[in-house]
Each structure stands twice: as C-alpha cells, then as structure tokens.
A = this chain, B = another copy of it.
Amino acid sequence: MVTTDEKIPQQRTSFDLTSYLKHQKDLVDQALESSLPITKPEKIYEAMRYSLLAGGKRLRPILCLATCDLMGGTVEMAMPTACALEMIHTMSLIHDDLPAMDNDDYRRGKLTNHKVYGEDIAILAGDGLLSYAFEYVATQTRNVPPEQILEVIARLGRTVGAAGLVGGQVLDLESEGKSDITPETLTFIHTHKTGALLETSVVSGAILAGATREEVEKLSRYAQNIGLAFQIVDDILDITATQEELGKSIGKDVQAQKATYPSLWGIEESKVQAQKLVDEAIAQLAPYSEKAEPLRAIAQFIVTRTH
C-alpha cells in the first residue's frame, strides 16, 4: 500500500478538510445513533446515549476510518471499532467529570452526565459504555480475520486501563495543586490520558485493514505526535478560548492549579512546540501518496483549531 514511485505532494493539495470532516462526522454520528438502541432499563440507555450523542468532533472515529482507508480497508471493517473508540472516549469524559474527579458541570456545551442523571447513573453509564465498546467490536466487525479483531480489542483494553487513560488520569489528579511538575511528568500524563487513545484510533484502523508491522509503526509515530500536539493546543485553548467556543467550563486548569504546557513554556512557545510535533507527524506520512491527505490535513487542523 506504500506507493514510493509516486511523487510526494509538497504543496497543500485541493483537499477540502472541512467537507471531509463534516461527511465523516455525519457517517459516524449515524452509526453511533443506531449502535445503542434503548431497551429496559431505559434510564441507563438514555444516560449512555445522552453523552455518546452529545456531539463532539468525532476525531477518534474519523482517524480510525481514515487510517483503515489509507491501508486499503473499508468503512464496514472499521466502523464498529470507530464507534467503540467514541464510546470509550465518552466513558472517560463522564467519569473524569464526576465530582470525585474534575467536578465539571459542562461538557460539549451541555450539562455533564451526573448533573442530569445523578452520580450513581453517571458511573454506571460509563461502565456500560466501556463494556459495550468491547462487545460491539467483538460482535459487529465484519470481513476482518478474528486474530486482527483480537489485536484491536487488546489494544483498546490497554489504552483505557492503568497503562493508558486511567494511569494518565491518576497522575493528573496527583499533580493537581503541585507547583513542581516537570515537563516529563506532564508528558507522561498526556501521552497516557490523551495520546494513547488517539494512537489506538490510528493504529486500530491500520490493523483492521491488515497493515504490516512497519506500517503500523510509522502510523503510531504519526499518532503519538498529533496526540501530544492536541493536548498542548487543548491547554492553550483552556486559557484563550471563550466558554461558548469550547462548550465546556474554561479556565478550569488555572483554577485547579493544574500543570499545563502554557504554564511551563508560555503560550507562544507552546504553539511553536505543537507545530513542530505536527510537522514531525506529517513527515511520517511521506511514503504515502495523496491518499494520506486526510491524515495530513487532520494533523494540521489540530494546531489551527479554535475549539
């Protein structure tokens, strides 16, 4: 699938990222809408759907679909995993927003899950989404050899757990209010809390399409770079964006005395570092033709986004 005989486009092509993202987001939203029908007990399904269908950029599913496509796979092969990635992401947001954790009232412009359904249901809605993610990949994936589906499930599990999201959130909570957080600790937090799931989004699409180890490695590095850039920009936006733009409570990091990249480097240097990471991410895509334009454009979008 690597086309070394083609000329690598040095100039931005006519690829229209806005249309692409809208089209892919619509596709993912449709799939998510039908992924979780309401049955008894209705309340828990409603709570799960409330957060799962609350909007959002659907960046993780879109990355998964884009990589699967780049490696010659189909939408059908990747969509159940794409939905599972969003279920996992949503679960982590619901639990992180709880009073015992970040205690957030707003998310994606709406009240957080526990503000609407109560803490007990919010905890259970997260648990329900997490377990359903694995069930969904295992039962809904078509035209993919079972060994590859198992590899995706293993990576999803690792990404959520203590070696991923959970581990990152633990260090994040421990670092709150501490003034002596090193750049290394901050990077540990974010490679686990944000980076791991973005990386798995990219890599799972490649695995489902049957990519080689070498291809998976290259795409992992792409994903690691955009993951860290994404978090740096998130930190910047927490300071510079308005609540309306961001759809969630802003200035929370400063209030909670959380270590952030801007607090370590300042805003301008943070922007420089984010752009550098994006350039390195795009460099990983050099072997691929214009078929990698979506992944290039998404990388660039990460540093230019305003919400």
Chain A residues engaging chain B, CB cutoff 8 angstroms: 39-41, 43-45, 48, 91, 95, 98, 100-101, 118-121, 123-124, 126-128, 130-136, 138-139, 145-147, 149-151, 153-154, 156-167, 169-171, 173-174, 188
Contacts and interface: CB of A to CB of B under 8 A. Distances in A.
A162 B120 contact: no
Contacts of A132: 157, 161-162
Contact of A150 (B91, B138, B173): B138
A173 B131 CA distance: 20
Identify which of A128, A136, A161, A173 gathers the most chain B CB atoms within 10 Å of its CB: A161
Contacts of A124: 95, 166, 169-170
A35 to B, nearest CB: 12
Nearest to A164: B131
* Count of this chain's copies in the oligomeric assembly: 2
Contacts of A156: 131, 134-135
A166 B95 CA distance: 15
A138 B153 contact: yes
Contact of A135 (B126, B130, B139, B158): B158
B100 A119 contact: yes
Contacts of A167: 40-41, 44, 128
Given A130-B130, A130-B131, A154-B138, A41 B123 contact: no
Given A44-B162, A119-B100, A146 B150 contact: yes
15 contacts: A41-B171, A41-B174, A45-B162, A95-B123, A95-B127, A100-B118, A100-B123, A127-B160, A127-B165, A131-B156, A132-B161, A135-B154, A138-B150, A138-B151, A149-B150
A44 B166 contact: yes
Contacts of A95: 123-124, 127
